[in-house]
Chains A and B, each alone.
Chain A
Amino acid sequence: MAENLYWEDVAEGQELPALVKQPSKRQLVKYAGASGDFYEVHYDKDFAVETGLPGLIVHGALKNAYLAQVVTDWMGSTGALKKLSVKYRGTDVPDDALTCSGRVTKTYVEDGVHQVDCALTLVNGAGEQTTTGLATVILPSREK
């Protein structure tokens, strides 16, 4: 985890350290319990197939949490997440290895606030990009 990442330390094109997540069915049940999202497509295979899905799918919101973690791990305790968006372009299945990564796309100062934009992606074991995202982070500046 980064200790006191400063805006001046960040450059366009910089990669955020990637995370590999491999949520088991058990993890999906834990997420269902902690989040209150008990939609059956995440733990009842027969139900999932009846709705037209090939089988169980990972909660989109869990993938959202994974991409958030890429950003919050990188920015450390002195950064502040201001915006986070995710688009689910495909469904993911339990036990697949999901590689969650990010890259700095822009560093700028707006109204005296030092900010960084990042592009985020989640790629499944087959190499398909099933989720994309964007984040805006405020970082401390050494000038202050």
Chain B
Amino acid sequence: MTVSKTLSDQDRKTLLDMSLPPVTMDVEKGHIKRFAEAIGDPNPLWSDESAGGIIAPPTFLRMMITEAPAPPELAPFPQMLDGGSEWTYMEPVKPGDVITAVTRYASVNQRSIAMGPAVFLLLETEYTNQRGDVVAKQRNTLIRY
């Protein structure tokens, strides 16, 4: 069966108007340490309380991605490549924080890549803590093909 690998104007509009389900995470000290080990970063800021209190490494929030299936408009493009990220940081993330990530598709463009037809999605995520402060923002380019 051949799946039509195109995205209509209506599909693009649907994606641009959509709000993705928010993701919430309790930030835990042990998880920060385990993450720091997984990226091979021994900086005491991520693990040593005496260094002034533990904070999360800059890319820690990257894990806050919805587990919900991709919207049906993107079903013909099941494979993914990460194109890059732009982070802006306002406040450090610390153990005990409760972070909520809200993501939307800021742009949706169809292009061709070596593997064939692809969709370039710009995902904008805003991360807010339990006090309502925006702690960080990420603009992530996701290529689906």
On whether the two chains bind one another, the answer is: yes
Chain B residue, CB-CB nearest to A27: B40
Known: A35-B62, A52-B115, A61-B62. A88 touches B82 (CB 8 A): yes
Binds B, one of A5-13, A79-87, A102-110, A111-119: A79-87
**What are 27 A-B residue pairs whose CB atoms fall within 8 Å in the complex?**
A27-B38, A33-B34, A34-B37, A35-B38, A35-B62, A41-B79, A52-B114, A52-B115, A59-B82, A60-B84, A61-B62, A62-B39, A64-B59, A66-B40, A68-B58, A68-B59, A69-B40, A69-B41, A69-B43, A69-B57, A72-B57, A81-B89, A85-B84, A86-B85, A87-B83, A88-B81, A88-B84
Interface residues on chain B, number (Cβ under 8 Å): 33
Which residues of B in the span 48-82 have a Cβ within 8 Å of any Cβ on A? 51-52, 57-59, 62-63, 65, 79-82
Question: Which residues from chain B contact A84 at a C-beta distance below 8 Å?
Answer: 58, 85-87, 89
Bitwise, B100-137 to A at CB < 8 A (1) or not (0) is 00000000000000111000000000000000000000
Main secondary structure of the interface of B (DSSP, over half): mixed
A36 touches B43 (CB 8 A): no
A34 smallest CB distance to B (angstroms): 4
A52 to B143, CA, bound (A): 14
Known: A65-B57, A68-B58, A83-B86. A31 touches B38 (CB 8 A): yes
A73 touches B43 (CB 8 A): yes
